[in-house]
Amino acid sequence: MHSKMVCGAHIKTGSPNTFIGGPTVSVAFVLDLEGWMHTGLEALGLLAAGGALLLAAFAGAAAFFGALAVGGALYAGMELLGDLGDRLGPGYRDLFQGVAGMALLGAGPKLARRPMTAAERTILARQRQEQMLKDNRGFNISPTAWDAYPTIGRAGTFVSDKKGITDVIGNFSGRSKVTISGKKAAELERAFGLEKDALKGGFKIRQVDDLVGRMPRSPMEGNQYFLGPGKHLPGGAPEMVVESIPTKDANGIKTLTEVFVSD
């Protein structure tokens, strides 16, 4: 790598022995460590931003555009600081942008979302349970194979809220048939504390109205994934038991969606 100098001055006068033109003059190689670091950090920043956008795109449109908006706002803010520094004098651009960058670096861990504790998750689930009772509505998921029986559950039917389902498989409103992956089915099993492969053969989502009139209560026991009375579901969704509901739609029981599971 060579540094080159080009003179672009307008020459008005010159002595007779002045020579204009000739070959480009080369100088010895100089390792510009500061320049290399500057270029490297810029490239690293661009790669990080691109990777973040890629991950956001996989997460969904909302996350993608959210990351894009935040990135654009940060870039615009840095440019404004740079312009202010240029007006104040040499070196202020780097000073302002450097201080702002270090501040963002320090604030990053504090702004990161902290995982909820078990106690916080239970409190939130209880609030959602109260909302279920106010809405007087719950939702049940059960294997399609259970349609062979007249009711779901001998000692009662488990219900949760709609959010507990949509958080895993997405919105199913207005869709009578939905296909999800086996991975999503397994994730829903874990979130609802169901036995492994319980939903592998497909399942149905039923809306249960008139919860208050169906003797709602917290379950006192369950399978190996049961967290305990009043602690709700492993995924954070609320859990209640009502009197056993029929597998056929009747008296406030409505099948909303049949879910098929792909391999």
Q: What is the dihedral of CA 34, 40, 41, 43, to 10 degrees?
A: 150
190 and 158 housed in the same domain: yes
Do 83 and 147 lie in one domain? The reply is: no
Please give the tally of structural domains in the chain. 2
Which pLDDT score is estimated for 250? 92
Q: Each residue of 202-222: b (16+ CB within 10 Å) or e? A: ebbbbbbeebeebebeebeee
Domain closes at, from 111, 129, 144? 111
Residue where one domain finishes, among candidates 111, 133, 164: 111
Residues 151 and 74 in one domain: no
Is residue 134 domain-shared with residue 155, that is, in the same domain? yes
Indicate whether 22 belongs to any domain: no
Domain assignment of residue 247, yes or no: yes
Helices 92-111 and 61-88, axial angle in degrees (round to 10): 150
Q: Which of 43-52, 79-88, 242-251 has the highest mean pLDDT?
A: 242-251
Question: Is there a single domain that holds both residue 131 and residue 233?
Answer: yes
Average pLDDT over residues 231-245: 94
86 located within any domain: yes
185 with 251, same domain? yes
Mean pLDDT of 73-85: 76
pLDDT of residue 133: 96
Is residue 45 situated within a structural domain?
Answer: yes
Q: Using CA atoms, how far apart are residues 111 and 10, in angstroms rounded to an integer?
A: 55
Asked which of 68, 91, 111 is the last residue of a domain, the reply is: 111
Q: Are residues 149 and 239 part of one domain?
A: yes
pLDDT of 82 reads: 76
149 and 101 co-located in one domain: no
Same-domain check for residues 103 and 213: no
pTM of the model: 0.58
> What is the pLDDT confidence band of residue 184, given thresholds at 50, 70 and 90?
very high
Instruction: Please list the residues that pair with 143 across neighbouring strands.
Output: 203
Give the model's confidence band at 182: pLDDT under 50 very low, under 70 low, under 90 confident, else very high. very high
How confident is residue 1, by pLDDT bands cut at 50, 70 and 90?
very low
Q: Do 153 and 71 share a structural domain? A: no
What percent of the chain has pLDDT above 70? 69
Q: How far apart are CA 159 and CA 259, in angstroms?
A: 17
Confidence of residue 141 (pLDDT cuts 50, 70, 90): very high
pLDDT category of residue 57 using cuts at 50, 70 and 90:
low
Q: Which segment, 32-36, 89-93, 235-239, is predicted with the most confidence on average?
A: 235-239
d(C-alpha 106, C-alpha 95), whole Å = 17
Residue 167 has pLDDT above 80, yes or no: yes
Question: 51: pLDDT confidence band, cut at 50, 70 and 90?
Answer: low
Residue 16 lies in a domain: no
Tell me if 171 is assigned to some domain. yes
Of 115-129, 198-212, 225-239, the range with the highest mean pLDDT is: 198-212
Which structural domain, as residue segments, surrounds residue 51?
33-111
pLDDT at residue 59 greater than cutoff 60: no
pLDDT in tens, 61-71: 665 666 667 76
Range with lowest mean pLDDT among 61-70, 144-153, 177-186: 61-70
Torsion over CA of 94, 100, 101 and 102, rounded to 10 degrees? 110
Within a domain: 15 = no
- Predicted pLDDT at 178: 95
Q: Are residues 173 and 221 in the same domain?
A: yes
67 shares its domain with 107: yes
Considering the domain boundaries, does residue 170 fall inside one? yes
Residue 183: pLDDT band with limits 50, 70, 90? very high
